[in-house]
Chains A and B, each alone.
Chain A
Amino acid sequence: MSIHDLNPTEKKDTRSGFGDALYELGKEDDRVVGLCADLTGSLKMNAFADAFPDRFFQTGVAEANMIGMAAGLTIGGKIPFTGTFANFSTGRVYDQIRQSIAYSEKNVKICASHAGLTLGEDGATHQILEDIGLMRMLPNMTVINPCDYNQTFAATKAIKDWDGPVYLRFGRPSWPIFASKDSFEIGKAWKINDGSDVTIVATGHMVWYAVLAAKELEKEGIKVDLLNIHTIKPIHDAAILASVKKTGCLVTAEEHNRFGGLGEAVAQVTTTAFPVPQEFVAVDDKFGESGKPTDLLKKYGLDVSDIIAAAKRAIARK
């Protein structure tokens, strides 16, 4: 596997990976139940809702109650998947998740679409850039941010059999499909490319941009060790450490505030075991705004060119 093997021709939204997998899970396991707060179409939960009406609970625009109902449904052995936008899946219901799910160790899968800037035109009220941090801080919580349709599909299937609460973060835009459906494993990094000059660790939509950046850097003779960390908690320490021991410097890339997200999670691994210079490609402690997804990524410093520049800065600090 190398970046040269990745030349995707097809695009799809990650939320469709969630919806398609949820429908399959519904067929495979009658313990799976779905809950949605008036965003069934946006979350692509229609197929599940139509096929399994007895196991789908519309909660209306009442996310706190949805979270509590999901927690209650686990008592009796159900595996609830809740669906709403990432903002309403986390910030709006933080205390409900904290007490009724995380502290109570309930087997709820919190599935969140429209995360980050790439939500686009709806603007900052809906573009949460703090959700990874919020969820990472909760004991017992697993946090997964897949990078494309295939990985979101695979992650959705995988979390059904993962014992305990999960936050699954995905998004709205149509995005290149380049990951494998078959090789996904919770907590295990995907090694996309071998290189010796700089480590790039990326998550979510930014993984594709990191692939493009690595291709450009290679043209300049810079060899990138590229890792996809989809599971931000528990994080794959060994994969990160093996990479930075080889390259001696690090770039993290995420569609999230620089505080609380992937970058800090990776830094915590390296600073305690093998400190290396690190550059953060992340939103610089700002709220977003309306606009086209790729225009927003560019404006907020999350473009391919930003990853390339960060890699060069990291290498210069070695």
Chain B
Amino acid sequence: MVHSCSSGHPGGSLGCADFFTALYGGIMRYDSSNFNMDGKGEDLFFLSNGHISPVWYSTLARSGYFPISELSTFRAIDTRLQGHPTTAEHLPGIRMASGSLGQGLSVAIGAALAKKLNGDDRLVFSLHGDGELQEGQIWEAAIAAPHHKVDNLIATVDFNNRQIDGDVTDVMSLGNLKAKWEAFGWTTLEMDGNDMGDVVATLEKAKGMTGQGKPIVIIMRTEMGQGVDFMMGTHNWHGVAPNDEQLAQALQQLEETEGDY
């Protein structure tokens, strides 16, 4: 997808592939054949770090929300698969625009509160980048969720320690992230986002901890560019598309992704 339009964000997308596969492959309950905005009786997912749209679109298509063939329209004119996710094109599976960072946690809290008011016992999931946590609004939301006892929300932070200008530690260190979330009143779990067994087990554990008066956050350690050796260990593939040669090289390492092309 990213190669065919020569733009997009492959690094974070690859790092979160296991998470998305687990979420839509068994963790969440949803009806992709009957998408509606309200999603009553369904689990909801909000992608706050909208730039990793490739992995989300790819997952949504494989989960039955729209044809896999539509993935080839990513970022092209007239596409429903905008560079960053939007509701404006009415792509099934998407309930909120994202791209400008830091807004998704507040939205997820609102959607979770609506579920409570509606007597809907399904859950709300969200994903955030680690660089995104530098946005102040995230911490406004972090204060609000425990205050309002939003215990039907499972937020996940993609902690790959990479952002556009370099390592998160160098650009604007997040310090002790686990201690921060705990201090704000969140039940805080950690997992290896590139170990499918750990991802599934931790998400199941988190589901089991809902309904106890506290929101839940999972700090998910991932490797940006996971599975493609030349994309790993650097921040350089945050928002750069591979060329023909690099694509061929990457696909040789990740055979299961060839269906996209």
Contacts and interface: CB of A to CB of B under 8 A. Distances in A.
Interface of A: 33, 54-55, 57, 59-60, 62, 64-78, 80, 95-96, 98-100, 103-106
Contact of B38 (A59, A70, A75, A80): A75
Given A65-B141, A104-B87, A104-B96, A54 B110 contact: no
Contacts of A106: 96
A80 B114 CA distance: 10
Which among A75, A95, A98 has the highest number of chain B CB atoms within 10 Å? Answer: A75
A70 B108 CA distance: 10
A68 B117 contact: no
22 contacts: A54-B117, A55-B117, A57-B113, A60-B140, A64-B103, A64-B140, A65-B109, A66-B106, A68-B106, A68-B110, A69-B109, A69-B113, A69-B141, A70-B110, A72-B108, A72-B109, A73-B111, A73-B114, A76-B118, A96-B103, A100-B106, A105-B87
A66 B148 CA distance: 13
B114 A76 contact: yes
B107 interface: yes
A73 B110 contact: yes
Q: Which 5 A-B pairs have the closest CB atoms?
A: A72-B110, A68-B106, A76-B114, A65-B140, A62-B140
B39 interface: yes
B247 interface: no
B172 interface: no
B10 to A, nearest CB: 23
Nearest to A80: B110
A99 B100 contact: yes
Interface in B24-83: 37-40, 44, 46
Contacts of B97: 99-100, 103-104
Contacts of B113: 57, 69, 72-73
Nearest to A70: B110
Contacts of B108: 72
A76 B115 contact: yes
Nearest to B124: A72
A87 B44 CA distance: 33
Nearest to A59: B144
A77 B40 CA distance: 9
A75 B111 contact: yes
A72 B106 contact: yes
Contacts of A104: 86-88, 96-97
A59 B148 CA distance: 9
A62 B138 CA distance: 11
Interface in B104-138: 104-115, 117-118, 120, 136-137
A99 B147 CA distance: 25
A303 B37 CA distance: 48
Nearest to B86: A103
A77 B112 contact: no
A69 B97 CA distance: 14
Contacts of A65: 106, 109, 137, 140-141, 143-144
Contacts of B39: 75-76
Contacts of B87: 103-105
B38 A76 contact: yes
Contacts of A78: 114, 117
Nearest to A61: B140
Nearest to A95: B100
B117 A33 contact: yes
Given A71-B110, A72-B46, 7 more contacts: A59-B144, A62-B140, A68-B137, A69-B113, A72-B113, A75-B111, A76-B115
A29 to B, nearest CB: 13
